[in-house]
Amino acid sequence: MLPLTSSPAPWPGGPDREVRRKASRIGRLVGVVATLPMAGYVTLTFPTERTARLVGAACVLLWYVLTFTIAKRVALEWLK
């Protein structure tokens, strides 16, 4: 006999949508708060050459993505 399509999955489900949304919100907030001082530092200390500005912008963007990802994951584990 085939299982019903509405039957629950045999493995434990992940966190529900509201918990993931809240973890994402916390991750974005932490990411922005951690990135703003770095962006200010890069703006004030890097030379005005185009290449240096592009490298600085790439570093700030990468810093935000990493910080957001880590903070979101920690918040997700904490909120479970």
Note the pLDDT of residue 52: 95
| Residue 4 in domain | no
Contacts of 59 (CB under 8 A, 6+ apart): 38, 42
Instruction: Give residue 30's identity as a one-letter amino acid code.
Output: V
> How far is residue 78's CA from residue 71's CA, in Å, rounded to a whole number?
10
| Residue 52 in domain | yes
> How far is residue 29's CA from residue 27's CA, in Å, rounded to a whole number?
5
| Residue 7 in domain | no
**Count of domains observed in the chain:** 1
| Residue 70 in domain | yes
- Could you list the residue range(s) of the whole structural domain that residue 31 is in? 17-79
Q: Each residue of 17-41: pLDDT tens digit?
A: 899 999 999 999 999 999 999 999 9
Q: Each residue of 45-76: pLDDT tens digit?
A: 999 999 999 999 999 999 999 999 999 999 99
| Residue 58 in domain | yes
Read off the DSSP letter of residue 15.
-
